[in-house]
Amino acid sequence: MKKILITRRLLKESEDKASKMFDANLNSNDELYSQSKLIELTQGCDAVLTSLTDKMDEETINKLPDSIKVISNFAVGFGNIDLEAAKKRGIAVTNTPEVLSDATAEIGILLILGACRRASEGIEAARESNWKWSADYLIGKQLTGTRLGILGMGRIGQKIANIARSLGMIIHYHNRSKLSEDKEQGAIYHDSLKSLFSVSDVLSICCPATKETENMINKETVEYFPKGAVITNVARGDIVDDEALIDALNRRKIYAAGLDVYKNEPNLNPGYLKNKSVFILPHLGSATKDTRIAMANLAIDNINEFFETGNCKNKVN
């Protein structure tokens, strides 16, 4: 039986499945392992099932024992893993696409609605019974007829586009390449960031975090947007230069932001907390029971597939 380390606690159903299929070392206290503890616990293991909280950088990967053949990430994003370093050591890295697209798209839409309709201010006022209805109280931005720019029209981006269309939004997108017409469903392709941002009344960031997308929202690109645009991020914090976005929010160039992901999670840049027009969530993209079970099961199956066939369809390096 292959031996695996699971770095974070999973839902019981998934831990039971892992224990049936492997000699699985579970983390019942859900402790956040330090680099040295993780290295120590992987001794003698064939695979490690990681979460987005595990920083699998080059140094960590180089210290893994030779027995490790797979890093199976419990996430669709894999910005926490140095893919090249893993490849150099002959370690396959896998992720969990598709199973979380619906749940994450729901949060993507929640961010758009929350930011545009001033949900943070509304929740605070309602909790404190500190409000009086009036014709101009907490007036927000209506979505009907506005242009939604989608940065990264993959599975999640396409699902957000479908829901947004039903809210009357007009969809624009930028991707590495133009999609086929059946995937576009009438969405308008832009071959540059500048072109997309300049027509985005609302932006939904859905692209993976890579060296190329790091700080794509920055001092320069934030100026491409129409005045009063809304920026939302359901992908990864590394795509946004926080200081540039906070500055644009403070001077009302950007009307509001909706954020589920951050650099240095869970420590948000305090500038976001000081600004009432920022609608924030604590990385809830895939946080539903069905989705978390499906993700964990896929992460476990990815390891099994690799050992049974020598490859895995969800291998990303």
| Interacting residues toward ligand DGY by CB under 6 A | 52, 75-77, 100, 283, 285-286
User: Roughly what angle, to the nearest 10 degrees, separates helices 155-166 and 101-116?
Assistant: 50
Pick 52 or 217: Cβ nearer ligand DGY: 52
Tell me whether residue 190 is one of the annotated catalytic residues: no
Candidate list 265, 292, 305, 308, residue with the active-site label: 265
Closest CA to 47 of 256, 304, 232, 265: 304
174 catalytic residue (yes or no): no
Q: How far is the CB of 94 from ligand DGY (least distance, A)?
A: 12
46: its two tokens: 């064939």
Which member of 15, 236, 292, 305 is catalytic?
236
Instruction: Using the minimum distance from each CB to ligand DGY, give the nearer residue, 182 or 212.
Output: 212
Tell me if 248 sits within 8 A of 272, measured CB to CB: no
The whole-angstrom separation of Cα 58 and Cα 213 is 20
Q: Which residue among the candidates 8, 174, 190, 283 is catalytic per the annotation?
A: 283
Residue 282 CB, nearest approach to ligand DGY (Å): 10
Residue 230's SS3 state is strand
Q: Which is nearer to ligand DGY, 100 or 245 (CB)?
A: 100
**Whole-Å CA distances, 38 to 63, 72, 73, 179:** 10, 14, 14, 41
Alpha-carbon dihedral angle through residues 287, 290, 293, 299, given to the nearest 10 degrees: -80
In whole angstroms, give the CA distance from residue 94 to residue 100.
Answer: 15
Tell me, yes or no, if 172 is annotated catalytic: no
Choose between 38 and 76: whose C-beta lies nearer to ligand DGY. 76
**Taking the complex as a whole, how short is the minimal distance between the CB of residue 290 and ligand DGY, in angstroms?**
14
Active site residues: 236, 265, 283
